[in-house]
Amino acid sequence: MPRQATHQTKPSPEKAPRREPTASGQRDAAVNRIASHNYFLLEKFECGVVLTGTEAKSVRGGLANLKDSYGLVKDGELWLLNAHIGPYEHGNMNNHAPLRTRKLLMHKEEIRKLIGKTQQKGLTLIPVRMYFKNGKVKVELALAKGKQLWDKRETERRRTADKEAREAIGRSRKA
């Protein structure tokens, strides 16, 4: 008597599949770690970014880099320069340019305040992080003042002193 074939079933997929952490806003798409080392970050502002479709998909995939980028106020508008968003891997000939100048979206009153502050000597706009909020890409801009070499050394000394103090407290609690 021939053996009957058993029917294999696939496990049922989840009703609501988990979204990628970057796309759902749980993790930042890009962080400018060197910004706090090279600058004193005075104030932070949240603004939107005008992106093309392939740029948004690249940011979702984690291909954004804010390392050498900066913000600029020109003709009453806010711009993001030198922000590198890698080309979308499934894009076609209409893919975006990686170092394109991108427009930032902010209220006019906030831009007017930034104009006054950035005209002061030594202050600049530095993007600190890029993230998703309600499905839209946002950039956190910081009003920053450049650090001198001795400022960087002082910050490093303070950081190591704090770390040693925390370790000493931890050792005393264990004993």
The whole-model pTM stands at 0.71
Confidence of residue 31 (pLDDT cuts 50, 70, 90): confident
Q: Is residue 125, in this structure, part of any structural domain at all?
A: yes
Q: Is residue 157, in this structure, part of any structural domain at all?
A: no
- The mean pLDDT of 46-65, rounded to a whole number, is 86
Q: What is the pLDDT of residue 112?
A: 87
Full domain range(s) for residue 64: 22-147
Question: Domain holding 62: CATH number?
Answer: 2.40.280.10
Q: Is residue 10, in this structure, part of any structural domain at all?
A: no
Q: How many domains are there within the chain?
A: 1
Q: Is residue 127, in this structure, part of any structural domain at all?
A: yes
Q: Is residue 5, in this structure, part of any structural domain at all?
A: no
pLDDT digits (tens, 9 = 90+) for 137-171: 889 999 888 878 777 788 888 889 999 999 999 98
pLDDT above 70 (res 95): yes
Q: What is the pLDDT of residue 127?
A: 92
HEC secondary structure over the chain: CCCCCCCCCCCCCCCCCCCCHHHHCCCCCEECCCHHHHEEEEEEEEEEECCCHHHHHHHHCCCEECCCCEEEEECCEEEEECCEECCCCCCCCCCCCCCCCEEEECCHHHHHHHHHHHCCCCEEEEEEEEEEECCEEEEEEEEEEECCHHHHHHHHHHHHHHHHHHHHHHHHHHC
Q: Is residue 174, in this structure, part of any structural domain at all?
A: no
pLDDT digits (tens, 9 = 90+) for 4-22: 666 666 666 666 666 666 6
Q: Which stretch of 47-51, 71-75, 95-99 has the lowest confidence by average pLDDT?
A: 95-99
| Number of residues in the chain | 175
Q: What is the pLDDT of residue 16?
A: 61
